[in-house]
Structure 1
Amino acid sequence: MDLDEYLTTKQVVSDYPFFNEGTLRYWRHVGTGPASFTVGGKKVLYRRSEIERWLAQQEQATTRGGAA
């Protein structure tokens, strides 16, 4: 198991500074944003691969402009 694959909310914000904790909490509340799960009933974790997948989806859905 690669423990670097699992990130707390604070680690997500540290590694991806365009996210903030409040937004991630809100997204969890409304069921959007990168997939997350809880451990022990309260510790929220994100898989790095899920954050990357979600970002790629956002890029695909919102890219504008000409071809490179």
Structure 2
Amino acid sequence: MVRLQVTGMSCSGCEQRIARVLHRVDGVREVTADHSTGHVEVSIGPGLADRAVLAERIEAAGFEVIDGASR
């Protein structure tokens, strides 16, 4: 499980956008995004996507990932 702190989410549409983007990454099993807390949790298969790839995709979608969120 990878947990990321994300800024820029303001509604359920933002949550859905992040989920759609991350579900396109190989190995992503489940995505839970919560705009009220700014947390995105991603369940991935072993040896597949990593935090850097997930953060890159989220940022490409127009959001900002804050360093310091733990794996």
Decide which structure has greater strand share: 2
TM-score relative to the length of structure 2: 0.29
Higher normalized contact order (CA 8 Å, seq sep 6+, divided by chain length):
2
Structure having the higher Rg: 1
Structure number with higher helix proportion: 1
- Normalization by structure 1: what TM-score? 0.30
